[in-house]
Structure 1
Amino acid sequence: MRLGARVGRWGAAVSVLAVAAALLVAVGPAGAGPVRTASGHRWITDDQGRALVLTGLNTASSAKSRPDGLPWIKEGDVQREADALGSNFVRFLIQWRSVEPEPGAYDDGYLDRVAERVRWYGARGIHVMLDLHQDVYGPAVKGNGAPAWATEADGLPVAERGQWELKYIEPGTVRAFDHFWGTRPGGRDLRAHYAAAWAHVAARFADDPAVLGYNLMNEPFGGSVQGPAFEAGPLAALYRQTIDAVRAVDRDSWIFVEPEAVSANWGLPSALPYLPDPRGDGEDARIAYAPHLYPLPMDLGGGYTGDTATWVDRTLASWREQTEKTARRLGAPVLIGEYGLDATLPGAPAYVARVRAMADELGAGTAYWSNDPGSWAPWDQNLRPTALLPVLDRPQPRAVAGDPVAYAWDAESRTLTLSWRPKPGVRGDTEVYLPARSFPHGGLVTGSGVAGAWDSKSRTLHITSGADGAGGTSVRIRPAP
């Protein structure tokens, strides 16, 4: 939920906050998951077993409203993103209304068009997560996502709102969610349709090397059931059902789950319980946790300065604490599925840099919202860079051939540090992205790692462990002279 995108007056914003506060209740234990790895952290991995540090953009908000359910991009835009940001990840929005336009009837032509765009990313080494996106349930209640046939609002109204998030609490929207979750008597089993639609998508992309995995639902909302009762009840039940459906056709791709948006986005606790993966527990499981991050002061349209920045920093500390608690419970690696702000707000670059540094500390991937040209993007309506682009285009590891211990970028000294421990079964080199703005002539590696091949086109440096790498590898990378 991105209140700041359309907040015109504080009164309306405060009304949203009041509704959200009324919905939240104290969170208690939600069941323990498996113990995490020896390093205390799990990682999203590639087919060589390397730990992935995923960074990129959401593509795209435009897919929500376009009749074809596809983003605005052409192949040249994907190339421009790869060149300008060094992205190795994209959260690609798709629509249930486009996947299943009629009950049980799937539009494979739509999925073919999605697959074409997936190939654009895959050809550039960018991992794709398919996100079945919804906001305000679906077009029949003035939102996006669900098809009209799956919207049971019982004739209740949904008024137009100048602030789109307020449509979540309109009677028709709440009723549509209640019927979907099965928390209101009567109606069809729409959750079975949803899980089957995901199974159809997963079967189509199971063997696509560019598709890393599937985000099961964007920003879940429980209708009249909120908080722990929703997350531990209907939401967890849908996730279990959908995970089983996906695993029946795709055993290996990663599955990403989100918490309830009205709490976790602002740094409040989540009650999402452990979700078993039919692949197995521990290292065999491929369930990842993908919360969003929108601190309330900025969600209400504020910048990152003065007292607002202090409030935002406190929110970030709470968000990190709660995210780590939930990830431990799930036994899951973390990906920040959305974060972002209006780049014209004061302090915007500093805020994005702060989030990226926190993600480094967490070992979390990031997907910035979004690539749609405009004030929230790294480029404006004329595709000219905004102040966000140089902050997003920063040095980082992409794939680590072992168990990462720590990594960090120090812009002042222009130094990227990275350390990792060996891990059985991992193949390939460690790969590091070094953008031209910071490393015009490539990188100089010191420490126990050995610099290998340098790809000047993709700005990727390969590093291998040295002779003493059995005890771990640490490197410092500075600009080459």
Structure 2
Amino acid sequence: MRRAVLLAVLFLLSLTTPVRAETFDGTELRVENGVFRDEHGREVVLRGFNVSGTAKLAEYRGLPFATTQDARTSAQAMKRLTGANAVRFLLTWAWIEPQRNQIDRTYLDNVTTQLRQFTDEGIRVYLDFHQDLYSRHLFNKDSWYTGDGAPAWAASGYPKESCGICVHWGQNMKNNNAVTAATYDFWHNRNGVQDSFVNAAGEALKHVKNALPANEFKLVVGVDPLNEPYAGKYDAGQTSQTWERDLLMPFYQRFRGEMDEAGWAGKPAFVEPLVFWNQNVDFFAEPGGLTLAQPLGDRFVFNAHFYDGKAQSGILMPGKAGDGQYTQAFNTIRDRAKALNTTAIVSEFGHPVSGFTSDKTPSVLKAIYQGLDSTASGARWWSAPRGSAISGSQWHWDTNYGRHRELMNDNPGKVKTDGDAMNDEHFSAVKLDANNTPVLNVDRALVDRVYPQAVAGTTLAFTYEDRAYQTWQQIPLPNVRALVGNAPFAVLVWDAHESAAPTEIHLPESLRSPLVISSAQSAVQGDELLLTSGPGRQFALVTAPSNGNVAAAEAEIRQWYVSW
């Protein structure tokens, strides 16, 4: 009894231990031995959102926000509501180079100004040169669909576009002759179109670097050279895998060289495999994942996307997502990154927040985050818990959601105001309420999550049970189970290394005053749990305050974590 009381007192004292967060600002990231590491050698997990769907529209001339103030409000809301530490920030070739060989410096100034609203909040950024269906300029004014990406001058001379009977805009990648022909020409550099893109991207990277103070450029993690690449159509005898090897990877290597010349040599390229490799709809998926590529190494990141096409169909997956539903898919992403000798990030994932399949959204998001966090299902985690969390950026963050005024394909008769205003999508996790205050479109528990922001060592295992939608984690340790009860909880096990900075765990709103059982010294500062220790294997259990037997739970979890 005395030991339990003493432990409880020590835990309460640890919560008030002052630690200055600014002392541990390890901003510069690198890829090392299959993980991101900061200047203090800590393993870093990036979590956040894509900013933003508005960048795909003409409404604000390819910018994520109408004004700098809108960008600032959005960045502050993202930090406050979700604890995000990174964003994928979209920019578009059409607005960078609207006329051939003429770079729009005003657009790049505006991009950089809006980007800085996120770095001002301490949020890391990685740029994404975005495209969907090659270009909006391929589509006629009465089309059901639209695209984004290439400027008008790089999208001329193609046949009248038509997808035929297509139930999803993505089918244009296979069925629309204008889209497939233009995409094919890009990869074969017809009329030097790929040359122009790479040159324009290099000019954009130079501009951003020169416009950012050095301390803010440190917060820029890297670059996604091109969103969701696909062939358009294959050459005779070519397969999806040989296309990746013979056309996609040379493009990435070329882009990598452009990054180096632009002053980005110390930052990785976030390279995506063939987009169809990311699909889980059997008739749409194709082999890929850069399986025929040489190992990428530390100057690249394996960058996957994940959407459950079956769940979005409403037919192929009639029910809700369940425990461990996406574990295998995310472990495949982990395995591909390991085989390529680098780390992984899932730079897009999500599910519609409105529409006829939005009843699945809580379960799908919970299952996706479970796959990012852990290598095992909730039912199996305690017996097979090994593996680090994967970085990821949810699609997407658009405070203009439901308030757009987009002239679809420049047609004044087709003004899009609903949802994302892009191909009838509804993915934004945020919107503005009647008072113009950012509010979430999804349960906060799903997106404001415990995650290991920086681990002073190597993560051995991590899990988080958010209690959103339903409970999937099954705790086999009776005293730990009694202590936690029905509260959210997280467990981190790591091999601690010598470091001048602590392990940092983000605490969601539901756990800002947590009960912490840990082999390390713990302190709470705002929305962060700071853990300091000497070298060796460490553990931390984070949950809500409890009347349970702390000493018994600690003894039980200590025995568990040294036994596997």
- Which TM-score applies when normalising by structure 1? 0.80
Matches within 5 A, 1:50-65: 50-65=42-57
1:111 maps to 2:108:
yes
- Counterpart residue number, 1:246: 259
- Counterpart residue number, 1:79: 76
1:179 maps to which of 170, 179, 185: 185
Ranges in structure 2 where 5+ consecutive residues have no aligned partner: 1-30, 140-146, 376-388, 402-418, 420-425, 467-485, 547-564
- Counterpart residue number, 2:313: 300
1:212 maps to 2:221:
yes
2:230 maps to which of 221, 224, 248: 221
- Counterpart residue number, 1:70: 63
1: CA distance, partners of 2:449 / 2:316: 22
2:245 touches 2:293 (CA, 8 Å); kept in 1?
no
2: CA distance, partners of 1:205 / 1:443: 40
- Counterpart residue number, 2:560: none
Matches within 5 A, 1:46-195: 46-66=38-58, 67-72=60-65, 73-142=70-139, 143-151=147-155, 154-159=157-162, 163-168=168-173, 169-182=175-188, 187-195=190-198
SS at match of 1:445: strand
Relative to structure 1, the CA distance from residue 357 to residue 200 in structure 2 (aligned partners, 3 Å threshold; closer, same or farther) is same
Relative to structure 1, the CA distance from residue 197 to residue 431 in structure 2 (aligned partners, 3 Å threshold; closer, same or farther) is same
- Count of aligned pairs: 421
1:354 maps to which of 354, 367, 371: 367
Relative to structure 1, the CA distance from residue 90 to residue 271 in structure 2 (aligned partners, 3 Å threshold; closer, same or farther) is closer
2:163 touches 2:176 (CA, 8 Å); kept in 1?
no
1:470 maps to 2:535:
yes
1: CA distance, partners of 2:439 / 2:115: 25
SS at match of 1:189: helix
Q: Give 1 or 2 for the bigger CA radius of gyration.
A: 2
2: CA distance, partners of 1:324 / 1:269: 16
1: CA distance, partners of 2:500 / 2:259: 27
CA RMSD of aligned residues (A): 2.7
1:450 maps to which of 516, 521, 524: 521
Structure 1 residue identity aligned to 2:539? S
- Counterpart residue number, 1:21: none
- Counterpart residue number, 1:28: none
Structure 1 residue identity aligned to 2:77? R
2:240 touches 2:286 (CA, 8 Å); kept in 1?
no
Matches within 5 A, 1:374-453: 374=419, 375-380=426-431, 382=433, 383-411=438-466, 412-423=486-497, 427-436=500-509, 438-440=510-512, 442-452=513-523
SS at match of 1:146: coil
1:201 maps to which of 201, 204, 214: 204
String of CA shifts for 1:172-207, please: whole Å, max 9, x gaps: 111111111117xxx322222222223223323444
1: CA distance, partners of 2:275 / 2:250: 17
- Counterpart residue number, 1:460: 528
2: CA distance, partners of 1:429 / 1:199: 37
- Counterpart residue number, 1:24: none
1: CA distance, partners of 2:260 / 2:462: 33
String of CA shifts for 1:149-168, please: whole Å, max 9, x gaps: 2235x431212777422332
1:320 maps to which of 302, 305, 330: 330
2: CA distance, partners of 1:174 / 1:151: 12
- Counterpart residue number, 1:337: 347
2:274 maps to which of 226, 238, 260: 260
1: CA distance, partners of 2:428 / 2:445: 12
Deviation at 1:242, TM superposition (A): 0.5
1:368 maps to 2:394:
yes
String of CA shifts for 1:346-365, please: whole Å, max 9, x gaps: 23212211111110125211
Relative to structure 1, the CA distance from residue 200 to residue 422 in structure 2 (aligned partners, 3 Å threshold; closer, same or farther) is farther
2: CA distance, partners of 1:112 / 1:241: 25
- Counterpart residue number, 2:142: none
2: CA distance, partners of 1:52 / 1:268: 31
1: CA distance, partners of 2:101 / 2:77: 38
Structure 2 residue identity aligned to 1:260? L
Relative to structure 1, the CA distance from residue 317 to residue 68 in structure 2 (aligned partners, 3 Å threshold; closer, same or farther) is same
Relative to structure 1, the CA distance from residue 478 to residue 271 in structure 2 (aligned partners, 3 Å threshold; closer, same or farther) is closer
Relative to structure 1, the CA distance from residue 175 to residue 252 in structure 2 (aligned partners, 3 Å threshold; closer, same or farther) is same
Relative to structure 1, the CA distance from residue 448 to residue 205 in structure 2 (aligned partners, 3 Å threshold; closer, same or farther) is farther
1: CA distance, partners of 2:110 / 2:116: 10
SS at match of 1:102: coil
Relative to structure 1, the CA distance from residue 197 to residue 95 in structure 2 (aligned partners, 3 Å threshold; closer, same or farther) is same
Identical-residue share of aligned pairs (%): 24
Ranges in structure 1 where 5+ consecutive residues have no aligned partner: 1-35
Structure 2 residue identity aligned to 1:262? F
Deviation at 1:100, TM superposition (A): 2.0
SS at match of 1:233: helix
SS at match of 2:191: coil
String of CA shifts for 1:73-99, please: whole Å, max 9, x gaps: 431121111111111111111101112
1:50 touches 1:427 (CA, 8 Å); kept in 2?
no
String of CA shifts for 1:243-284, please: whole Å, max 9, x gaps: 12112321212220111112223276424144666xxx4xxx
- Counterpart residue number, 2:288: 270
2:241 touches 2:287 (CA, 8 Å); kept in 1?
no
Relative to structure 1, the CA distance from residue 160 to residue 171 in structure 2 (aligned partners, 3 Å threshold; closer, same or farther) is closer
2: CA distance, partners of 1:368 / 1:406: 22
Structure 2 residue identity aligned to 1:210? L
SS at match of 1:387: coil
Relative to structure 1, the CA distance from residue 164 to residue 347 in structure 2 (aligned partners, 3 Å threshold; closer, same or farther) is closer
2: CA distance, partners of 1:124 / 1:59: 14
Relative to structure 1, the CA distance from residue 98 to residue 301 in structure 2 (aligned partners, 3 Å threshold; closer, same or farther) is farther
1: CA distance, partners of 2:538 / 2:196: 48
Structure 2 residue identity aligned to 1:434? L
